[in-house]
């Protein structure tokens, strides 16, 4: 990876101060480069979302960042995220780093139109934008994620699950951040819609050159879209490697078990076959599903 770093995490430890303190993230180190898709994989409860929340300073008690540094490398210099005060933190979020939350397609306000929710986000950070600029920007981001701008007047219940997910990705793109964290963005979507959204994420990354931290327990999915993959186990990053190399020659026993736990569509158990997003059409996926049924 030759691109410059946009985010550096050093020795990050996050503790939940319960009756018996739980260390959810243990001395994590990682670097995110400009334009990179960094996959973060691991089983449920391994600390993936806790790490993402720490990067975005979203934790509330009893969670506490016990140690470490999180540095954003911007065009105007480095920013120590952990040192930001309230006003600075509000300005930092969404402008430089945005997040698509787990279960995002249910995160839209059910009684407010898409137009109003995009407008609120823009005005919170850019209060001097004109009504025309807000309309044009809202139409532009919806178009980029494959949603008809006429849907601006729709309420969330009038949209399919895939469209709601696309709207949330559009909202995360509104202010053109340099980093986007996506926490299980394709959960609860069928395989065809999931593939479409993954293609959109890769296309948008290529077009706009933002970096992505993509969180999921689905390692084969990450192998399809990631430049590098970090594997977490019990709060620790146990392996961090280029996706192709991880697939060919995983070093940690847990990573090898993850790879072996996903069967191929044909062949012996444990023989995971990489299909490739760009090579597998929605029709082929549907045909395969029908054959297996």
Residue 264's pLDDT is 64
Q: In this predicted structure, what is the pLDDT of residue 278?
A: 46
- What is the domain extent for residue 221? 5-96+178-249
- For residues 207 and 170, membership in a common domain is answered with no
d(CA 42, CA 55): 18
Q: Please, are residues 185 and 104 in contact by the beta-carbon 8 Å criterion?
A: yes
Has residue 230 been placed in a domain?
yes
Whether 263 is covered by a domain: the verdict is no
Q: Which two three-digit tokens encode residue 152? A: 């601006």
The per-residue pLDDT for range 182-222, each reduced to its tens digit, is 998 887 778 888 888 888 899 999 999 999 999 998 888 89
Are both 231 and 245 inside the same structural domain? Answer: yes
Percentage, residues of the chain above pLDDT 90 = 72
pLDDT of residue 286: 38
CA-nearest of 196, 214, 215, 112 to 159 is: 112
Share of the chain above pLDDT 70, in %: 88
Residue 22, classified by CB atoms within 10 Å of its CB into exposed (0-12), middle (13-18) or buried (19+), is middle
- Place 26 in a pLDDT band, splitting at 50, 70 and 90: very high
- Supply the pLDDT for residue 288: 37
Same domain for 108 and 78, yes or no, is no
What pLDDT, on the 0 to 100 scale, is given for residue 269? 53
Of 116, 147, 176, the domain-final residue: 176
Q: Do 226 and 128 lie in a common domain?
A: no
Please count the other Cβ atoms lying within 10 Å of the Cβ belonging to residue 18.
9
Q: What is the pTM of this model?
A: 0.87
Note the pLDDT of residue 189: 78
Write the DSSP symbol of residue 67. Answer: E
- For 292, the enclosing helix (H) or strand (E) is helix 282-292
Task: Give residue 232's Cα distance to chain centre.
Answer: 16
* pLDDT over 90 at 291, yes or no: no
- The CATH number that applies at residue 59 is 3.40.50.300
pLDDT tens, position by position, 207-264 = 999 999 999 988 888 999 999 999 999 999 999 999 999 999 999 999 999 988 876 6
- Kindly state whether residue 270 falls inside one of the protein's structural domains: no
Last residue of a domain, one of 176, 195, 220: 176
State whether 210 and 151 are in the same domain.
no
What total of structural domains would you count in the chain? Answer: 2
- Give the residue-averaged pLDDT of 11-37: 96
- Asked if residue 275 has pLDDT above 80, the reply is no
Show which of 249, 269, 286 is a domain's final residue: 249
Q: What confidence score (pLDDT) does residue 196 get?
A: 87
Among 33-37, 138-142, 262-266, name the one with the lowest average pLDDT: 262-266
């Amino acid at each position: 990876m030759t691109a410059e770093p946009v985010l550096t995490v050093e020795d990050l430890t996050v503790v939940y101060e319960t009756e018996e303190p739980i260390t959810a993230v243990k001395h994590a180190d990682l670097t995110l480069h400009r334009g990179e898709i960094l996959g973060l994989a691991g089983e449920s409860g391994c600390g993936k979302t806790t790490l993402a929340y720490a990067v975005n300073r979203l934790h509330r008690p009893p969670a506490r960042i016990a140690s470490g540094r999180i540095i954003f490398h911007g065009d105007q210099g480095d920013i120590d995220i952990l040192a930001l005060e309230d006003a600075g933190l509000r300005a930092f979020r969404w402008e430089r780093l945005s997040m698509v939350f787990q279960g995002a397609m249910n995160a839209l306000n059910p009684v407010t139109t898409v137009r109003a929710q995009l407008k609120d986000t823009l005005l919170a950070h850019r209060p001097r934008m004109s009504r025309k600029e807000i309309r044009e920007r809202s139409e532009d981001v919806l178009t980029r994620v494959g949603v008809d701008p006429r849907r601006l007047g729709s309420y969330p219940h009038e949209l399919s699950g895939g469209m709601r997910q696309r709207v949330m990705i559009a909202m995360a793109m509104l202010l053109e951040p340099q980093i986007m964290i996506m926490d299980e963005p394709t959960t609860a979507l069928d395989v065809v819609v999931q593939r479409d959204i993954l293609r959109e994420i890769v296309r948008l990354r290529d077009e706009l050159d933002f970096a992505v931290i993509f969180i999921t327990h689905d390692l084969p999915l990450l192998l399809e879209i990631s430049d590098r993959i970090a594997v977490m186990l019990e709060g620790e990053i146990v392996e961090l490697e280029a996706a192709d190399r991880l697939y060919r020659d995983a070093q940690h026993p847990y990573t090898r078990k993850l790879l072996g736990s996903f069967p191929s569509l044909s062949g012996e158990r444990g023989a995971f076959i990489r299909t490739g997003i760009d090579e597998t059409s929605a029709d082929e996926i549907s045909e395969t599903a029908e054959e297996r049924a």
